[in-house]
Chain A
Amino acid sequence: MAVTDAGKTSPIEAAPLPAPPAEAPLKRFLSDFADSRLALGAALLLAAIMIVAFLAPVIAPQDPYDLATVSVLDARLPPGTENFAGYTHWLGTDGAGRDLLSAILYGLRISISVGLASGVIALFVGMAVGLVAAYVGGRTEGLIMRVVDLQLSFPAVLVALILLAILGKGIDKIVIALVVAQWAYYARTVRASALVERRREYVEAAQSLGLSHARIIFRHILPNCLAPLIVVGTVQTAHAIALEATLSFLGVGLPQTEPSLGLLIANGFEYMISGKYWISVFPGLALLLTIVSINMVGDQLRDVLNPRLQK
């Protein structure tokens, strides 16, 4: 163990850097992250979006899928209208008379869940494949990277579309399609950094200690590849959310019983021509804020986690 600990702060890495201040890593990370007001704002906004999305059943003014509270008589009310029950629809109602604010909160919950689930699964699949490719090398690596390159030559939206055309609609199916469409990005990222780490002394040290391959891969190489993986993970999760919205908008993603933001936008699209803008615009804004805030957090993470950019 002593050997590996020494290996982690190998002299080659530590030599050109001035001695880092004795600060907790997490604290330094947080203060670095907060350097950019914009990124901090985006992170707070993202946190707020996640909280309201997951608390949707508690805080939404109406259960938009409870037929007892939804009335078709309230359909397509403009924002700020009071309905017969004396309740004000601040964002208006959609084509079926559902309170749009509530529908957006529930839709956000579905969109974010699908994005996170597919992002996390794709991350683990891609990570395992990329690590194995880099560690084993040789023909196996060549074959794996051929497949990765091949898949990356097709746009993710096309891969997902092809799969959904075959699989059909449903939450599980769209998660599968998104995972298949995105795992290769993670595999490429992990393999690139694992290739560098594999040649480091600490790996050689661990190997000469006779540690198992699995232990070397997951306990020694993986922790040093995490930074780029986290950055790619945030950006790809934003992509997954946008992709799911696109596919659902096209009518090949989620069924009407699981209305994500993409479906809400698609449902409102037919009323847009007659000037009832809010049914499409507000869910779109929610989608936009989510995607843009994730991307901004990802951008700042890339700057903070990249040691070369550290002052």
Chain B
Amino acid sequence: MSVFILRRLMQSALVMVAMAVIVFFGIHLIGDPVWMFVSPDMDQQDIEEVTRALGLDRPIWEQFGYFVLSALQGDLGTSFIFGEPALGLIIERMPATLELAFTALLMAVAFGIPLGLYAGLYPDSAVSKAIMAGSILGFSLPTFWVGIMLIMVFAVILGWLPSTGRGDTVDLFGVPVSFLTLDGLKHLLLPAFNLALLKISLVIRLTRAGTREAIHQDYIKFARAKGLSTRRIIGVHLLKNILIPVVTVLGLEFGSLIAFSVVTETVFAWPGMGKLLIEAIQQLDRPIIVAYLIMIVFLFVVINLIVDILYSILDPRVRLGDRGA
């Protein structure tokens, strides 16, 4: 077990190093970074001075070493636009993104499991067919387009919900959150649903497939023969067994929620990390871009690591398979 975890840790570290190399050299490949710091009216001497001050006259390997060393100390550069440390800006906006992603995850479970259960129990009913058609649409519609349509219907035509921003926030353990105020909750609803839609479709399919498979198993037949109520059979025996794959997949999908929040945050002007990234790309604020990339890869590596370790605890075959390969 510990060998497995150690090996996965080393792999994760390797991924981080590879990513740092790609990002660092990628950014150097497309142009001299010194042009980000000089203004057009500077002469050659000034430019050389800036180059020296930034350490850009050093060999590229030395620069890379310096970049890695400062990155390890949490210094990923200072934003050109805000004049503040890039990593600090990202972390400042992280709670908003995490709140959005967690709410979406909650919605995926709250909508996906009952709908999938219904579609699995009554596969031939018209409602089930509508649910499945809806889940196919949920898969194929681009997130940003659904977001725009949600704004059009609920904010512009009906006027029920606000279309942009985060609303009132209150501090929970020093972190501002929206879901504890009514105004914040209203602001949260549309973007979270937009982000959740893809995952709702996924959960519907998983739950439906699991239900249809489990319904013919012996333990269900046995529970029926014992004379248990249908409600108890479905609520306890069936649900318990189909929840395992659903929870595992949702854990894996959490990272993709954070990635897709870039899109949702842009549509709904939600002040999270994703919106910051898009603005940084448009304003060529490179330190923010680099900090975001390093941060998101780190987040992904950590999520994958946790899921892998949990998986190997739940299912010993994974560990054995890894050793055999």
Contact = CB atoms under 8 A, between A and B. Distances in A.
B293 to A, nearest CB: 6
Contact of B263 (A142, A150, A165, A250): A250
B156 interface: yes
B36 interface: no
A162 B293 contact: yes
Contacts of B266: 249-250
B259 A165 contact: no
A288 B255 CA distance: 26
A157 B260 contact: yes
Those 10 A-B pairs whose CB atoms lie nearest each other, nearest first: A158-B259, A166-B26, A155-B256, A155-B259, A242-B142, A249-B144, A284-B145, A165-B289, A295-B140, A165-B281
8 contacts: A150-B15, A155-B259, A158-B256, A245-B142, A249-B263, A272-B151, A272-B152, A291-B141
Contacts of A288: 141, 145
B19 to A, nearest CB: 9
B98 to A, nearest CB: 16
A265 B263 contact: no
Contacts of A245: 142, 144-145
A288 B141 CA distance: 7
A54 interface: no
A284 to B, nearest CB: 5
B73 interface: no
A167 B145 contact: no
From A249, A250, A273, name the one whose CB has the most chain B CB atoms within 10 angstroms: A250
Nearest to B26: A166
Contact of B255 (A155, A165, A284): A155
Interface of A: 142, 150, 153-155, 157-158, 161-162, 164-168, 238, 242, 245-246, 249-252, 262, 265, 269, 272-273, 275, 277, 280-281, 284, 287-288, 291-292, 295
B143 interface: yes
A167 B304 contact: no
Interface string B161-172: 001000000000
Contact of A292 (B140, B259, B296): B140
A292 B140 CA distance: 6
A154 B300 contact: yes
A280 B180 CA distance: 34
A158 B260 CA distance: 8
A287 to B, nearest CB: 7
A127 to B, nearest CB: 24
Contacts of A161: 259, 262, 277
B255 to A, nearest CB: 7
Contact of B140 (A157, A280, A291): A291
Given A165-B277, A250-B262, A158 B296 contact: yes
B42 interface: no
A246 B281 contact: no
A253 B69 CA distance: 33
Given A154-B255, A272-B148, A273-B156, 18 more contacts: A142-B325, A153-B304, A155-B255, A158-B262, A161-B277, A165-B289, A165-B293, A166-B23, A167-B30, A238-B140, A242-B140, A246-B263, A250-B262, A265-B145, A272-B151, A272-B156, A273-B163, A287-B145
Interface in B135-190: 136-137, 139-145, 148-149, 151-152, 155-156, 163
B145 A252 contact: no
A246 B23 contact: no
B309 interface: no
A93 to B, nearest CB: 19
Interface string B272-297: 00000110011000000100010010
Interface string B239-275: 0000000000000000110011011001100000000
A214 to B, nearest CB: 28
B281 A252 contact: yes
Contact of B148 (A150, A157, A269): A269
Nearest to B145: A284
Nearest to B25: A166
A243 to B, nearest CB: 8
Nearest to B29: A166
B223 interface: no
B152 A168 contact: no
A280 to B, nearest CB: 6
B13 interface: no
A245 B144 CA distance: 9
Nearest to A291: B140
B300 A153 contact: yes
A246 B142 contact: yes
B300 A291 contact: no
A71 to B, nearest CB: 27
Contacts of B139: 295
Contacts of B325: 142
A272 to B, nearest CB: 6
Contacts of A252: 278, 281-282
Contacts of B15: 150
A184 to B, nearest CB: 15
A262 B293 CA distance: 24
Given A249-B144, A250-B266, A277 B30 contact: no
A250 B281 CA distance: 10
Given A142-B325, A154-B300, A277-B152, A166 B27 contact: yes
Nearest to A238: B140
B142 A251 contact: no
Nearest to A281: B152
A151 to B, nearest CB: 11
